[in-house]
Amino acid sequence: MSVLTVVGASVAAAVLSVGSVAGASVASASPTGSHDNLAARLTAVCGRVGTRIDRVEKVQARLEAGPDTPGSIARLQARIDAATKAGKSDQARLLTDRLAIRKDIESTLPDVLAHLKDAQSVCAAQVGTGTASSPATS
């Protein structure tokens, strides 16, 4: 599984997790809907947030690792340097494009991690106190 696949899945999961948790909070305030189903969905989403945080942290560590670590930015930069030195301009251009994508991903990961940690705190408040399954009062 490539780094981009893992990061893409993590980003999508973060967006969906935060959106689902926010949607669940909004939905729990509305007087209509099944609260039992909502509580089950919220519990399921909250159960996945910790795993997503671990994944994002692993990807961050890999991207920031040294040139000996596969998938790191430093290793990709070393490959670009080697391709340029060997006169392989097409390969160097391809790797440079890949490097730009990795750097873009690296710059978005702190925000994704912050959103996931926010979602985790919302989950702790909702599931931990049992407010997700209580009937809405409005």
Place of tokens 């994944």: 55
Q: What is the pLDDT of residue 45?
A: 87
Give me the residue spans of the domains in the chain. Answer: 3-129
Confidence of residue 9 (pLDDT cuts 50, 70, 90): low
User: By the 8 A CB rule, do 127 and 46 touch?
Assistant: yes
Q: What is the pLDDT of residue 4?
A: 47
The whole-chain average pLDDT of the chain stands at: 79
Structure confidence by residue, pLDDT tens digits, 25-66: 554 555 455 566 887 888 888 889 999 999 999 999 999 999
Of 119, 123, 107, the residue nearest 59 (C-alpha): 107
Residues 123-137, mean pLDDT to the nearest whole number: 57
C-alpha torsion angle, residues 99, 1, 111, 42 (rounded to 10): 170
Residues 11-28, mean pLDDT to the nearest whole number: 51
Residues with Cβ within 8 Å of 121's Cβ and at least 6 positions away in sequence, in order, are none
